[in-house]
Chain A
């Protein structure tokens, strides 16, 4: 028996979402009294992989085949299923991030395992069955799913739990996933990444702006604070629709879902479709001139006031705070 977590490396570093998945896997293994094993596909630095020991992983199975450097859902499914076999895993844990969202359901079919996507808490075991809680209805409710199949697949909603790091180091073993050329279907033609920016879905802090900012020329009110905080920037759909900001920044029902530790909403009304993408955030701060703005009902802290007055003060006070700490 074992719990296997699927871990991704990007630009030489283990993805933050994967650290969370590995930690979730280790905690699950602990509850089941078994070992936590991780699988990594594609070229990666063994020293970096060994750091998974800090979140409780005992052993890393590393398939260093360069063909696996790019995500190909069909090939990856075969490779992770082979690793699950090799590790004798009954539970496979992935992140509910871009690649995990597709890999997990494929894997569940391949392993004939019941699957719960986007878990927000650790599973509860009762005999052979597991209960796993996830958000439903765009975060307006939660549901606990029961999985009674022998094998189980769980994906973890990013930012749902904070990994506690210890001092361990994982052993890294070479793993042969036994794939052939016929297993690969996807040819990558190009990658277009906004360099230097923090990916919104991985960000712990987000500063977001809405139509209340009046125009793109005022976005420094958002970006200056974001830069100072090391936060990602986001916006409402209304703002992306009029091209004040790029569409990949818009959050909500039709945009990205984020669950940062802190979401600062400036001049955003808080329409239900917007809240759908942000109400998993741990702490929400709202700055809005209208005390009746619906966003205040979803907020932890609020300032009723003009963003043009308030935001420069927030920046100034945060700078003071930073200097003092």
Chain B
């Protein structure tokens, strides 16, 4: 089985968020970048587990600049067999999806597993777009994925519960928590990652359909109103009269 895992690069969650150029650009000053957690912990690990059990190959693809090399090597250390980097600025989800879809067309994957969303733009777009560009079925928010005889059985999240579905391969899956247990790359993996192939390819000329015009930070830090623990009635009054939420 041949599996493609698209991986994104995002600022570490504890990063201080700031903007430059009149609030039109994200300030990367002092920001550490990591592999998008959902991609690393769930999509990639589940892909590796399936390959280890059933044979095949796991390829990771990243759309972005050369500074993502460390993240790509980490993915190889976790267990991917080879990597492709499309050398371009990933500023629009459609553009990114078009790069991934073009690569996927040339390689006949049985399965593509993306993360559900990146933790920077929280946009939940690329997986669905890749599926539509390839005219493939897609299931999102997947917490469980088993493959047998070319059929994927999945558990996906729905409002207030889960749904179990079956879909024939080829298929695009958007992963979320519970799909796998995060792995820490071991020494052998880290050493081996150095010699695994990483191909760098040029981007195709796909359009960018959206652009960020401005960023803004929350207006001001909230000022908490403290209520005495012996005067809980006051809390109820404020929630009713002032906040109007009860």
Q: What residues make up the interface of A, taking CB atoms closer than 8 Å to B?
A: 10, 15, 17, 72-74, 77, 96-99, 101-110, 112-118, 131, 134-138, 140-147, 149, 185-194, 197-202, 205, 229, 247-248, 253-255, 257, 261-262, 272-273, 276, 282-286, 296-306, 309-310, 313-314, 316-318, 320-321, 325
Chain A residues near B174 (CB-CB < 8 A):
102
Indicate if the CB atoms of B128 and A188 lie closer than 8 Å.
Answer: no
Tell me whether A262 and B243 are in contact in the complex, defined as CB-CB below 8 angstroms, given that A73-B128, A105-B93, A299-B224 are known contacts.
yes
Chain B residues touching A, majority SS = mixed
Indicate if the CB atoms of A137 and B17 lie closer than 8 Å.
Answer: yes
A110–B129 CA distance with the chains assembled, in angstroms: 9
Chain B residues near A115 (CB-CB < 8 A):
93-94, 125, 209-210
Indicate if the CB atoms of B246 and A205 lie closer than 8 Å.
Answer: yes
The interface stretch among B184-192, B196-204, B225-233 is B225-233
A272–B123 CA distance with the chains assembled, in angstroms: 20
**With A102-B139, A113-B209 already in contact, 17 other A-B pairs whose C-beta atoms are closer than 8 Å:** A105-B93, A105-B126, A105-B128, A106-B138, A137-B11, A137-B122, A140-B217, A190-B164, A192-B161, A197-B160, A200-B160, A247-B178, A254-B177, A262-B246, A300-B224, A301-B224, A314-B235
Chain A residues near B226 (CB-CB < 8 A):
301-304
Chain B residue nearest to A99 in the complex (CB): B158
Indicate if the CB atoms of A73 and B140 lie closer than 8 Å.
Answer: yes
Chain B residues near A321 (CB-CB < 8 A):
236, 240, 246
Q: Does B61 sit at the interface, judged by CB under 8 A?
A: no
A302–B71 CA distance with the chains assembled, in angstroms: 41
Chain B residues near A138 (CB-CB < 8 A):
13, 119, 122
Closest 4 CB pairs of A and B: A305-B229, A199-B160, A193-B161, A105-B128
Tell me whether A97 and B153 are in contact in the complex, defined as CB-CB below 8 angstroms, given that A117-B125, A143-B212 are known contacts.
no
Interface size bracket, B side: 35 or more
Indicate if the CB atoms of A186 and B137 lie closer than 8 Å.
Answer: yes
Indicate if the CB atoms of A108 and B163 lie closer than 8 Å.
Answer: no
The interface stretch among B49-57, B62-70, B77-85, B165-173 is B165-173
Indicate if the CB atoms of B222 and A199 lie closer than 8 Å.
Answer: no
Chain A residue nearest to B42 in the complex (CB): A254
Chain A residue nearest to B15 in the complex (CB): A137
Indicate if the CB atoms of B221 and A303 lie closer than 8 Å.
Answer: no
Indicate if the CB atoms of B162 and A253 lie closer than 8 Å.
Answer: no
Q: Distance (Å) between the CB of B66 and the closest chain A CB?
A: 24
Indicate if the CB atoms of A186 and B167 lie closer than 8 Å.
Answer: yes
A156–B119 CA distance with the chains assembled, in angstroms: 18
Indicate if the CB atoms of A136 and B243 lie closer than 8 Å.
Answer: no
Indicate if the CB atoms of B120 and A136 lie closer than 8 Å.
Answer: yes
Chain B residues near A140 (CB-CB < 8 A):
17, 217-218
Indicate if the CB atoms of B209 and A194 lie closer than 8 Å.
Answer: no
Tell me whether A302 and B227 are in contact in the complex, defined as CB-CB below 8 angstroms, given that A138-B13, A190-B164, A192-B161 are known contacts.
yes
Can you list 7 A-B contacts (CB < 8 A)? A10-B159, A74-B138, A105-B128, A106-B138, A191-B162, A205-B246, A321-B246
Selected from A113, A118, A190, the residue in CB contact (under 8 A) with B122 is A118
A98–B122 CA distance with the chains assembled, in angstroms: 14
Selected from B137, B153, B245, the residue in CB contact (under 8 A) with A189 is B153
Indicate if the CB atoms of A193 and B160 lie closer than 8 Å.
Answer: yes
Chain B residue nearest to A196 in the complex (CB): B160
Indicate if the CB atoms of A77 and B132 lie closer than 8 Å.
Answer: yes
Chain A residues near B210 (CB-CB < 8 A):
114-116, 145-147
Q: Distance (Å) between the CB of A318 and the closest chain B CB?
A: 6
Most buried by A among B97, B216, B232, B240: B232
Chain B residues near A247 (CB-CB < 8 A):
177-178
Indicate if the CB atoms of A188 and B239 lie closer than 8 Å.
Answer: no
Indicate if the CB atoms of A136 and B215 lie closer than 8 Å.
Answer: yes
